[in-house]
Amino acid sequence: MISLLQRVSEARVDIDGQTVGAIGPGLLLLLCAEPEDTEAVGEKLLSKVLKLRIFSDEAGKMNRSVQDIGGGLLVVSQFTLAADTKSGNRPGFTGAAPPALGEALYEAFVKAARVQHPLVQTGRFGADMKVHLVNDGPVTIPLRMTA
């Protein structure tokens, strides 16, 4: 599973002019399933995301997790994280999971996140989304989890 985490002071997802998910301080998580991924891979990734210490403590050091600060988690599906740009000028996306598998793994990830974290918001799988964010830092962390 490929993900891109952004520490945000706020973020939201709009679809057709309507906000479908929004958080204040926390993490925007862009998520892409790959063909070999399973729910177990998603659970490993979620555990890492929730424990990753990328928020500042009183001394200004990155020592706190999103759970430590009580921040939000905004999970947005983004198959383009699997883009293959090795040749030519048009990216290929065969590295992304087929849509049915991608959606099932995305939904399983969100369900698990809602069990483990009190504030989880989402976009909508496969929708044309407008993602608005204020990156705090900026802090952007790529994460890739495999079986």
Report the catalytic residues. Answer: 78-80
Cα 42 to Cα 100: distance, rounded to the nearest angstrom? 16
C-alpha closest to that of 132 among 123, 140, 141, 145: 123
C-alpha closest to that of 133 among 56, 17, 29, 1: 29
What is the C-alpha R_g of the chain?
Answer: 15
Cα 38 to Cα 23: distance, rounded to the nearest angstrom? 27
Q: Is the peptide bond before 91 cis (omega within 30 degrees of 0)?
A: no
